[in-house]
Every structure is written in C-alpha cells, then in structure tokens.
Amino acid sequence: MTSPLKNDRFLRALRREPVDRTPVWLMRQAGRYLPEYRATRKAAGSFLGMAKNPEIACEVTLQPLRRFDLDAAILFSDILTIPDAMGLGLYFVEGEGPKFERTVRSAADAGRLDVPDMETELRYVMDAVRVIRRELGGSVPLIGFSGSPWTLACYMVEGGGSKDFARIKALALNDPATLHRLLAVNTDAVIAYLSAQRAAGAQALQVFDTWGGVLSPAMYREFSLPYLQRIARELPRTDASAGDAAQRTPLILFGKGNAAYLADLADSGAEGVGVDWLVELGEAAHRTQGKVALQGNLDPATLYGSPDAIRREVRRALDSYRDGNGGSRDGHVFNLGHGMSPDMNPDHVAVLVDEVHGYSAR
C-alpha cells in the first residue's frame, strides 16, 4: 500500500509543485466508448452489477490506462451510490439514465434519511478502492469521488435526471428548510464517504457538482456553495501521525457552470477546482490567484474533431493556462470540462493525451 508512486505528476500538480509535463486524465475515461468496456458490461449484465463487483470495477478502472498514457485512475463507480445506500432504490432504464424507486419531497421524507454505514452498506465501494490500489501497484494515483450535496439532491428529489429541475427548484422556493435538511444529511454522507475512500486507499478526491450551474447566483450561494465549503473545511485529509501538510490528500471541487464562483471556490480550502469550457483557463487562473490548482477544461466535443483540430485545441488550452499563471505550467491538471460520451473515438483520446504531454514538456 505504501509503495512510492512511479508517476506522481498528478499529485504534484495539485500541490502546485513543479512538474516535467502537465498531467492528464479524463472525466468518464472508463465507459461505453471503449469496446472492451462494452464487452465487460455485456458479460456482467448491467452497470450496477459492474459497480457492485470489486473485481469487475477494478478491471474497468484499468481499461483506459492500458490504452492511454494517463496520469491518474478514477474509481469506477457512480455518484448515486449514496442515495441508493440511503434506501432510495437506484436502478437504470436503458437509454433513460438513472432512476429512483423512492423520492425525497417532504419534510417527512427528508427526516427518514441517515448517513449510510460505509463499511457495510457501501462496503463494495471501499473494496473496489482496495482492489484497484493493489492492482495499480503504484503506477499512477487513484482518484476517489462523490457527488456534491446539491447534485445528489437533484436526483433524490427529481427521482432521476431532469431537464428543468422543476421539482427541486419548487422545493427550494416553497420549503427551503426541508431542502436544507436534505443537503445537510447529504453533506455528512459525502464527508463520511470520501473519508472512507481515503482510508481505503484513494489518493485524491473529487466532488462532482454537475448541476450547480443550473441555479441562479442567489440560489447557488444558498443551496450549493455553503455545502461545498463545509466539505472542504471538514473533510479530513491529513494523518495526525504523519503531520506533513505537503502530503495532504488533495480535494478537487468540480462544477459545471462554476465560472462565476471561481474566487469563492478558491477560498474554500480545497486544493483543486475543476472548470468547464465556458471560461478561458487563463481567466480562471486569474480569478483564483494561485490559491488552488486548476483542472480542465477542453470542451468534450473537441474529441469529435480531427486529430489536427484536437492538437490545436489542446495547445490553446495549455497556452491559456500558462498565460494566466505567470508563464508556468505548474498547478494545472489537464482534463475535459465535463465527461466523455459513448460515441467518442478512442484513437482521438490517444491524440489528446499525446499532445498534452508533448506540448507541455517544452
């Protein structure tokens, strides 16, 4: 478990230490765009069947690393494991995405929720982390993750994905106390979940606030930001015995549509902030003032472009970051601004990774 990492570029970038080239990983790097993933999924039967089997979760986590020179692995799981363990009954409908058998829409519903036990109800996640760490053998660091309290609440209230977030926004307007109760229990659960993943071996932690950007600024500042700030403050990331601040397990707060809040997120106490493609990286660096590492931010649709176009856009993003960061590549983790899609070409991912490493090494 304690074997030194062969490639610690990703962790060094998150600590804003010098790197020989910009590290890169991609949100949803494991998934349906890979034929080997589709084959494993077919044999396993279902997505949840894969996620709940630690050996299969490990195999699928490693698949993109066998093909591409990625600088980090991300646990193969889902953000909706927490509400599932709270008893809401997660299931997937082919072509429709995640659904819940039970929703949370009243004070009574919210009052019934409790933080799940991490080593029983969510043991399969911690077992997957332990198996993946062992199989990685120190090649690259392993990222653990969770949804944000707000993003989890979206699925719990809506009962699945949503286009307009009508039910949760109505709850925010009509019964904010119930929504705050739900967000508070989600926050406790996220902190316990990420702590348990860290204890099991996760070497960095990312919170996905996928739906924070659907809120008006006033609502974001009431229903999402304070809970992200509480996670950044309260999530334990050092070992009391080691006492070495440099070895903190970095926390990355990713948010779609978070450009207007980058200064607040940089002050949250998190080590990294993930940004989408609606803001220039140089501008994001300017707004965050070197207080955090930045992760991002290529438009995922760039992968539909030609290899030449992909290389050009990668160089543009790397240049933008350097421009906003005093000419240095340090403190940047290259990524997409959101996850990959099933119809993307794996060969284009190889081009992206090659250009990030090649161009940033200059």
Is 361 assigned a ligand-binding role in the annotation?
no
- Return the residue of 304, 339, 346, 354 that touches ligand CP3, per CB under 6 A: 339
Q: Which of 19, 27, 104, 356 touches ligand CP3 (CB under 6 A)?
A: 27
Q: Which of 5, 17, 32, 124 binds ligand CP3 (CB under 6 A)?
A: 32
CA gap 85, 338 in Å, rounded: 26
**Amino acid at position 200, single letter:** A
Q: Which amino acid is at 344?
A: M
Burial of residue 193 (CB within 10 Å: 0-12, 13-18, 19+) is buried
Cross-strand partners of 295: 274, 333
Look up 28 and say whether it is catalytic: yes
According to CB under 6 A, which one of 16, 41, 105, 311 is a site residue for ligand CP3?
41
* Contact between residue 291 and residue 331 where contact means Cβ atoms under 8 Å apart: no
Range in contact with ligand CP3 (rule: CB under 6 A) among 7-15, 23-31, 163-171, 267-275: 23-31
Q: What are phi and psi of 298, to 5 degrees?
A: -65, 135
Q: Which of 150, 208, 220, 334 binds ligand CP3 (CB under 6 A)?
A: 208
d(CA 101, CA 92): 11
Of the listed 41, 198, 230, 287, which one is catalytic? Answer: 41
Give least dist CB 328 to ligand CP3, A.
28
Catalytic residue among 33, 37, 155, 321: 155
What is the size of the binding site for ligand CP3 (CB under 6 A)?
20
CB 113 within 8 A of CB 185: yes
Q: What is the DSSP string of 61-129?
A: HHHHHHHS--S-EE-S--TTHHHIIIII-EEEETTTEEEESS---SHHHHHT--PPPTTTTTHHHHHHH
Nearest-CA neighbor of 65 among 37, 29, 94, 35? 29
Of 78-86, 119-127, 184-192, 293-301: span binding ligand CP3 (CB under 6 A): 78-86
Active site residue 91: no
97 binds ligand CP3 (CB under 6 A): yes
| Closest CB 284 distance from ligand CP3, rounded Å | 18
Maximal C-alpha separation, the chain: 59
Q: Which two tokens stand for residue 316?
A: 């543009």
Q: Is 159 in the site for ligand CP3 (CB under 6 A)?
A: no
What's the token pair of residue 184? 């508070």
Regarding 79 and contact with ligand CP3 (CB under 6 A), the answer is yes
Taking CB under 6 A as the criterion, the residue among 100, 145, 150, 223 binding ligand CP3 is: 145
224 binds ligand CP3 (CB under 6 A): no
Stretch near ligand CP3 under the rule CB under 6 A, chosen from 73-81, 114-122, 164-172, 191-199: 73-81
Among 14, 23, 29, 100, binds ligand CP3 (CB under 6 A): 29
Q: Which is nearer to ligand CP3, 27 or 259 (CB)?
A: 27
- Burial class, 35, CB count within 10 angstroms (exposed 0-12 / middle 13-18 / buried 19+): exposed
Q: Does the footprint of ligand CP3 cover residue 19 (CB under 6 A)?
A: no
Residue 358, H or E segment: helix 346-360
Peptide bond into 297 cis (omega under 30): yes
Binding region for substrate: 28-32, 78, 155, 210, 338
Contact residues for ligand CP3, defined by CB under 6 A: 27-32, 41, 47, 74, 76, 78-80, 97-98, 145, 161, 208, 210, 339
Q: Which residues are catalytic?
A: 28, 32, 41, 78, 155
